[in-house]
Amino acid sequence: MNPNNLKYSKNHEWIGLDVFNDHNNEKAYVGITHFAQKELGDIVYLDIEETIIGKKIKEGNIFGTIEAVKTVSDLFMPVSGRILEFNKILLSNPEYINKDSYNEGWILKIKILNKKEYDQLMSIKEYKKYIGEK
């Protein structure tokens, strides 16, 4: 994933279309931004229920939590979607999110249920302005 090709939520999640495997642009990967992982610090635990696969979760709803050394933060869906897969490697290696939040550190693979929600998310330029980065 390339941060320039992703969309961003105000809750600091990113979403990237799976353009190589889905030409309809309905499937996408979801993770937290580099900014978010940096703010959290060393990530030590990811809490996502195994039963999440197949569930539909609406935009803005919580799909799990992420724990760092000094804090716990909720994970929010950037768009309404049906959960296809989650990155189980993160259960034993949550530090991948710190090392590479846009590739090895992806969290979910989803089927987008409302493309309009995706279209309304921020571009990298808008997100950088939102977090005060130049």
Residue spans per domain, the chain: 3-123
What is the fold of 3-123? OB fold (Dihydrolipoamide Acetyltransferase, E2P) (2.40.50)
> pLDDT at residue 4 above 90?
no
pLDDT at 7: 97
| CA-CA-CA-CA dihedral for 58, 19, 30, 109, to nearest 10 | 70
14 backbone dihedrals φ, ψ, rounded to 5°: -110, 160
Q: What is the largest CA-CA distance in the chain?
A: 41
Closest C-alpha to 95, from 47, 62, 50, 46: 46
Answer yes or no: are the C-beta atoms of 69 and 50 closer than 8 Å. no
Q: Return mean pLDDT, the chain.
A: 93
- pLDDT tens digits for range 14-42: 999 987 776 677 899 999 999 999 999 99
pLDDT at 1 over 70: no
pTM: 0.93
